Amino acid sequence: MSSTPLHSEFDSIQSLRTALQERKLSARELAASALDAAQARNDLNAFLHVDPALTLAQADAADKLLASGQAGTLAGIPIAHKDVFTTQGWRTTAASKMLAGYISPFDATVVSRLQQAGAVSLGKLNCDEFAMGSGNENSAFGPTKNPWDLTAVPGGSSGGSAAAVAAGLVMAATGTDTGGSVRQPAALCGVSGIKPTYGTVSRFGMIAYGSSLDQAGPIARHAKDLLELLDTMSGFDPRDSTSLETCDGIENAPGRIRADFNATIQSQNAGGGKPLAGLRIGVPTEFFNGGLASDVAAAVEAALQTFETLGALRVSISLPRTELSIPTYYVIAPAEASSNLSRYDGVRYGHRAAQYRDLAEMTSRSRTEGFGPEVLRRIMVGTYVLSHGYYDAYYLQAQRVRRMIVNDFQQAFSHQCDVIMGPVTPTVAKHIGDNREDPTADWLADVYTLGVSLAGLPAMSIPCGFGSPQRPLPIGLQIIGNYFSEGRLLAIADRFQQVTDWHQRTPGQK
């Protein structure tokens, strides 16, 4: 049993696709080697459910399409899904005892679109319970471990997705980002991840946490690989009431992101030796305060200098309500979670307590037994801020601040810069259990990512260096764009990755 899958020999989805099309190897061979590697790396606790029969059946179907010349763009490419996307066959638990053993009768739109493109799923990936967390320590089935340091967290809530990609078990994985849960684990595991504009990717079949914030996004090693998945995942879905048809006159259709990416690359190439000439990079002063570790600040500064050598212009900007994004988010998101999770009552589906005297006690005991402490904490906060007498003081006020945060970003994009860059996290990955005595300490680590989510903007994380010699773990650079600018962000990230090799480093190699 090998811990090195066959697809690790290829540096991108494009190169692997070419090998599959030329029949240099088969999708079944790739899938079998990836399954072996996933089993060999059980120490990461990245996978919650693997079913070789299901995976090999998808691989065989991909091989048939490849042989016929009718294969989709991702035919045979090994991926995996965060365990908040419903899947037929594989269990969907949201990493919670509440849904232990649940198998959905339908696929999420994200899952079905990737499957229609021919991607082969290895199974379901670990995450924070109901996507609530910043370290992947809140899973009911144990924490995922960071491939760079097994004593460290991989980031959350999409920690299993980032760990699986960083360890080379899959070429790419799906994740969800409510307050930074794609960007943060990507940064802490040394891979790339993108959260698109809210409404770009369908939420149908994605287990809800905060409905006005949740958005699906891919995690992969390269920006170009993110493009391969995101372009397939995106597009209007009539089954999702929050799915966008258009934004500022731009149609949210499959192929839009790739077209924008190609147009940006073509424009960059016309710039000659300075491909990013004219690009204005806004650097918020609030992102470089006393809470930012010196090693993270140094890595981000070096990345900004690299962009300047490519022709970009650095502009100092202000996002004055950056710190207010923390209390704003932790009022709005728990309020929405309180509403969304009320459906888990022990009656229709999910965990039901074994002993109870009446319906009220059955519901109470079922929820107490089924939900973990972080989920219960957020439900309690959310229920409180929505209760009579506190709605105006907390929830309504948070929504007003949210609008101010949106305005801050729009002020910057309208008058000062084209994109915004800065750190993703204040420090490198912490040790598992570091904040056990203060569960809310992790909330403060979201300070650089929450504002983007509250505003519904697209943003991504790309590797840009490593921490101090004492803790030489990956560091991510955050790139934030205006609405529907995913293609442009990916093209800018790709240009950076053409002249650096941070995204090519693997655990054990720095």
Answer whether 341's CB lies under 8 Å from 130's CB.
yes
Catalytic residue among 26, 181, 338, 461: 181
Contacts of 20 (CB under 8 A, 6+ apart): 26, 27, 30, 66, 71, 75, 76
Measured distance CA(445)–CA(201) in Å, rounded: 26
Cβ atoms within 10 Å, residue 508: 7
Name the helix (H) or strand (E) containing 327.
Answer: helix 325-340
Task: Please tell me which residue in 26, 134, 157, 485 is annotated as part of the active site.
Answer: 157
Residue type, 502: W
Q: Which residue type occupies 193?
A: G
Is 82 labeled as catalytic in the residue annotation?
yes
Q: Could you tell me how far CA 26 lies from the centroid of its own chain?
A: 29
Q: Which residue has the tokens 């900004």?
A: 304
Question: Which residue out of 8, 26, 33, 82 is catalytically annotated?
Answer: 82
Using CA atoms, how far residue 102 sits from 49, 228, 312, in Å, is 11, 30, 50
Report the Cα–Cα distance between both ends of the chain, in Å, rounded: 26
- At residue 490's C-alpha, the angle toward residues 488 and 492, to 5°, is 70
- Can you say whether the dihedral through the CA atoms of 179, 181, 186, 189 is positive or negative? positive
Would residue 3 show up in a list of annotated catalytic residues for this protein? no
**103 strand-pairing partners:** 91
Determine if the peptide bond prior to 157 is cis (ω within 30°): yes
**316 is a catalytic site residue:** no
Q: Where are the alpha helices (DSSP H) in 416-449?
A: 441-444
Residue type, 390: Y
Question: At 231, which amino acid appears?
Answer: D
- Active site residue ranges: 82, 157, 181
